[in-house]
Structures are given as structure tokens and as C-alpha cells.
Structure 1
Amino acid sequence: MDYYAIVHNDFDGTASVAVYARAVKSLPKNVWFTEPTKVHNLLSKLEPRGVYNVMIADLGLNESTFDKIVESCKKLIDQGVKIQWFDHHVWKEEWKSKLSEIGVEVHHDTSTCGAGVVHKVMNPDDEFSSKLASADCSVDIWLHNDPMGEKLRRIVESNKDYGWKKKLIETFYNGILWNEEFQKILEDQVDQELKGYQKLPKYYRVIEVNGVKVVVAIRWKGPPDISYAAQYLMTRTGAKVFVSANGKAISFRSSTINVRLFAAKLGGGGHPLAAGASLEIPLIYRILRRIGIISPANKWVCNVVTKVINDVGFKEYQQKDITQH
């Protein structure tokens, strides 16, 4: 079957394509890796060029771009394109209804990760896909119940080039979960991470909002990855929430607090324990950050975070232990 794949630019997106490919027994004609805040632009420019199947996975929806997504999907469907959308982020019921009405085949399940949704729908009996989805869900929705997840996530994120993710899709498609190349990459990544943790104090501060500690960080270059740094810094400081900003976007992480509510307040989304939104730090602070002066940007983000949390409040999230994908 000829098809295009449009997925999130992370492990979950990569795994989602591989699971889908194994289900339909063919690799995609092309893969686009993108972000939830950019998918509407990609869809508006997509041309079938003889390919009339599109799978979209691990891409949540935002209120601000939803109408444009509907418009672009309808245009493609009117050209004879079949669209399947697999996602696990929080959606409004009206979003599902509207997309279904225009002909999008929506598969939405918040109990698992993106690859888990694809696995459930497309090939629930494929043992390899089950293993890949289990590893992916372990890190993507912060279950941390499958050691392979921590290893594979480092492999996927070791190279930001899209060509690397396409190579991984083909590797997983062929039923290879781990090999010698992956082992060497893992060892190199862990070495770099250990060195990276030493530079973190320059980039973060701990604030207290309504009696709860929150770590607020300005994104650094290189390892450790945000998810690993979040776990490390929350454990080290006793914070319940980790926040990071890179100048254009902000992300929230927690093991106990529903941080999607914070992201939604800023016009973003995600899932309860890992979410994000667009947030542009003022130009002057971004310039200072580039020359190594981090504090002004951090203070500005701290003020934004404090206001958001005061507006929304802390709401505990009961994490489910998902054992079936």
C-alpha cells in the first residue's frame, strides 16, 4: 500500500510509523516529522502526487489551529485521499466529531502512547509491535515500566537528522529492536549525559508556588535530554513540576501533577504528565541567553509559570499502569 506518514518528531512518532508499516506490510513513500503547532501548515501544503493514503500519528490538536487542520483535511479528502489519525493526547469531543464528519478516520485513546494506539487498531497480534509499543509508552507517557524504553529513546534522540529516524523506522519494520550499532550509541550517549549533568546548575532555578516546588530551566545545548534532566532535577530538588523553555516553546513535566492544564492555559496541549505550548521569550532575553547570560530569561519564564499555576492551580494526576497496548 502506498501512503504518506505525518508524525511527531520523537520516539513515539518514529515508533508509530514502524508499527503502522508492519501492519500494512510496506514502508511509507515519505515521512514528515513535525510538531502539533506546525501540522496545519504541513497539511495545507501536502499534495497527493498519486498517493491517496495518509497516516497521522502522535500529533495532538490545538484550539488555535484546529479550523485550519479541518480545512486542509477536507481539501485532501475531496481529492480522494484517505486520512487515518492516531493519537493519545487529550482531544475535545467536538474535535473528534468534526474530523469524523468530514471523513477523517479518527483513532483516539488516552490510555496509551501513539504507537500503542496504532498497535491496538492496526496489528494487535504482532509480537514485535507489542514490544516496540511497550518500550515507547514506558518513556513517552512516563510509565517507566520497560527498561528497553530508556535505551531506545536515547537511540532515537541521538541524531536529530530526519534521515536517522527514517533509518530506524526501516530497522524496526524489519523486526530488529536492538543491535550492536545501538549498543555503541547508547554507551556514547550515557557518557555525554554524565558530563552534561555537571553544567545544569547554570540553567535552572527552583521557585515555590503555593507551597509547591517547581524547577524552571532555560534549555541548554546537548545532553542530557529534557526528560532525563526533569527526573534528575525533580528528584534532587524535591520539586513536583519541571518546566523548560527554549525561547520559542515551553514544556512541562511531572510524575504527579496534571501539567497539561498549564500547557492548555498557554494555548498548547499534550498529555497529563508531559505537555507543552508555544511561548516566545522576549528578544532581548534571547540575545542575552545566546551570549551566556541566562538569568533574565529564566526570571521572565518564572513569572509566566507562576501566573499560570496561580490561575490554574495544582491538580494531582493518578497515573495508570498500562500493561496492555
Structure 2
Amino acid sequence: MAYEKAIELLEAARRLHTVSHVDLDGLVSAALLLRWARRRGIEAKHDVAGARGLYRMLRRALQEAAGRPGTVVVVADLSPRSRADAEAVAGLLRWGQRLVWIDHHEWPEGAREALEKAGAIVVHDRSRVTAEIACAVARCTGEDRTLVEIARADDSCSEDHLGLADKWRLVLRHLDWEGLRRAAGALAEGSLWPDWAREIYEQEAPSYYQEIREKTSVNGYEFNGIRVVVVTPPPRASGCDVQRLGLVPGPSEADVAVILYPRGISIRTWGQLRADCIASRLGGGGHSHVAGAPRPSTTMGPAQIARMVANAAEGCRAGQ
């Protein structure tokens, strides 16, 4: 039903304002919506936001929409950090603005209900990446599906048939906010690998991958019978790239692998342990076997992080 409502609302739109996440799934989702708007001949705008800046960006977008009748604001590939955050966004919908929220991450309890009560349409589908949801609500054509494949490959740390997910992942890490919007615009126009992106990749890739290989440390621990391996790569490295280079131990060596960043942690699990459950107990979220959470303190070392994750993992087995 949520899909049908979102499609109906978009079909009636006279203007589209998309706010997307900064990763490839978010930017592809925005690109698909921009393509849809272009096919319909309506004005479209795109902004990017991280989890911490989402409320500020949404407030601006919804205030702008209040003065532009017919505007539909779409949030793509971002989840509210808490029910309180969702209620704060709901409080912005007081002049009849139209908000569609599409996402596939774990959501805090009560967040969806708070938004829907205020009139937002929430398409929350954990079985798909957000680009697939965007593809459904924007009535994708055949040529759009290559974009969806690239987004899915990036989200799952796998490969697409063009080999572009890995390349775009590196390029996006070297772009500012304007560059990220430029990337979505290029994808929307059908330029899957523009020259400027290729130049960034060719310039940065050799040193980037070499740095990951040379500077990544791996430490193993066991707490409460749970084996935790903490992988500490260089600060700018992507967890998918660290994993692809074979630096993240698998299920034979660990129950939980943690990739430690300066401001966050990426959690990977196998078998019965649920990464999204562990992450939610640490203030984050994600998927059943790949999730993320804030790093409580930069002074916490690998052993302390491992103990914290092992404690959070208690009760996070499938079915519990």
C-alpha cells in the first residue's frame, strides 16, 4: 500500500526535491528520481545529507516546499536516528507539505508511526536496497536498472557487471557536498562513468589501496564466548574495500568483525548473530549481517571496542 501511495503522490507532483544519503545507494536513488522528473518535464532539486545533518536539511527543504505548491520532498536512503528525531521532522509538516520517505535500513521503534501520523508516506522495505525502492516508485525503465545493479553491488560489497561500484565508492570518498550532487547529476544524465570521475579514480586508487594494505591492523579477542576481530584501517578507507582486499577475517576466525573508524564502527556478522541488533544497542543500525554505529570515544582502543561489541551481542542471535 505504501508503494502505491508514493507513486500516486509523485504522479501528482509539479516539483521534486530529493534529499539523499551520501553513499552510492543514496546517490543512485536520487539519480533515478531526477531521471523520472526529467522524463515528466518537472523541476527537480537534489541535496545530500548525512545522518547528523538530515534534520537541518529537511527543515530547509520543507520550508521551501511550503512556499512552492505542488512540491514533493523525498528522503532517500536515510533513517531517523531516533523516534524523537522522527517526531521533530513530523513537527515540520504543519503547512500541508508532502513528504515521501524511502529507505531500507533498520528504523527505531515508533519512528515510522510518528511520521505517518503527520501525513508522511513511508516506504520502508528491508528486502531491497533504496535504489530498488526508488526504481519502483519512479517507474523505472530498462536503462535505469544498470544503476540499480551498481547500487546493490556497493551496498552488498559485491561486484556489478561493469565493475563500477568499487570505482565509484573510492571517488565518492574524495568529493565534497557539491561533488556528490554532481555525481548524482551525472548518473541521472546517463553518464555512468564520467571522465572527471575516472581521472579522480586513476589518480587516487594506487595510493589508496596501498595504504589500506600497509596500514590496516587486525586484532582478535574473545569475550563471553563471542569471538570479535577488530580491524583498524586507515581513516579514509571503505569497509567494503578493506573486506575485498581480504583483510576482514571470515566466520572461521570470528563471530563478529568490527571495522574501526575514527568516528564510527562497521559491524559484520555471520550465521546466527544479527549485526543490526548489535548496532541498534550501540546507537546505530543497518542490515542483518552488515551494520554500523557511532564510536563512543576516540580514546577507546580495539580491546575496549571488542568488549563493548561482545556485550551488545548478547541476545542478538536470530530468533531471540
Alpha-carbon distance in structure 2 between the residues aligned to 1:40 and 1:248: 20
Number of aligned pairs?
295
Tell me the residue number matched to 2:310.
Answer: 306
Gaps (5+ residues) in structure 2? 1-13
Alpha-carbon distance in structure 2 between the residues aligned to 1:46 and 1:197: 38
Query: Residues 241 and 27 (structure 1 numbering): CA distance in 2 closer, same or farther, change over 3 Å?
Result: farther
Query: Residues 135 and 32 (structure 1 numbering): CA distance in 2 closer, same or farther, change over 3 Å?
Result: closer
Query: Residues 66 and 165 (structure 1 numbering): CA distance in 2 closer, same or farther, change over 3 Å?
Result: same
Whether 1:69 aligns to 2:83 is no
Tell me the residue number matched to 1:265.
Answer: 281
Tell me the residue number matched to 1:152.
Answer: 168
Alpha-carbon distance in structure 2 between the residues aligned to 1:281 and 1:217: 17
Whether 1:107 aligns to 2:123 is yes
Gaps (5+ residues) in structure 1? 286-295, 317-325
The match for 1:5 among 8, 18, 34 is: 18
Is the contact between residue 229 and residue 306 of structure 2 (CA under 8 Å) also seen in structure 1? no
Alpha-carbon distance in structure 2 between the residues aligned to 1:265 and 1:5: 30
The match for 2:100 among 63, 84, 88 is: 84
RMSD: 2.9
Alpha-carbon distance in structure 1 between the residues aligned to 2:118 and 2:233: 40
Tell me the residue number matched to 1:291.
Answer: none
- Secondary structure at the counterpart of residue 229 of structure 1: helix
Is the contact between residue 229 and residue 254 of structure 2 (CA under 8 Å) also seen in structure 1? yes
Tell me the residue number matched to 2:8.
Answer: none
Query: Residues 279 and 198 (structure 1 numbering): CA distance in 2 closer, same or farther, change over 3 Å?
Result: closer
Is the contact between residue 274 and residue 316 of structure 2 (CA under 8 Å) also seen in structure 1? no
Alpha-carbon distance in structure 1 between the residues aligned to 2:101 and 2:168: 24
Is the contact between residue 30 and residue 46 of structure 2 (CA under 8 Å) also seen in structure 1? no
Mapping for residues 179-198 of structure 1, pairs under 5 Å: 179-198=194-213
Mapping for residues 210-225 of structure 1, pairs under 5 Å: 213-218=227-232, 220-222=234-236, 224-225=237-238
Is the contact between residue 20 and residue 26 of structure 2 (CA under 8 Å) also seen in structure 1? yes
TM-score (norm 1): 0.78
TM-score (norm 2): 0.80
Query: Residues 46 and 24 (structure 1 numbering): CA distance in 2 closer, same or farther, change over 3 Å?
Result: closer
Query: Residues 240 and 303 (structure 1 numbering): CA distance in 2 closer, same or farther, change over 3 Å?
Result: closer
Is the contact between residue 235 and residue 261 of structure 2 (CA under 8 Å) also seen in structure 1? no
Mapping for residues 235-254 of structure 1, pairs under 5 Å: 235=249, 238-254=253-269
The match for 1:167 among 171, 182, 186 is: 182
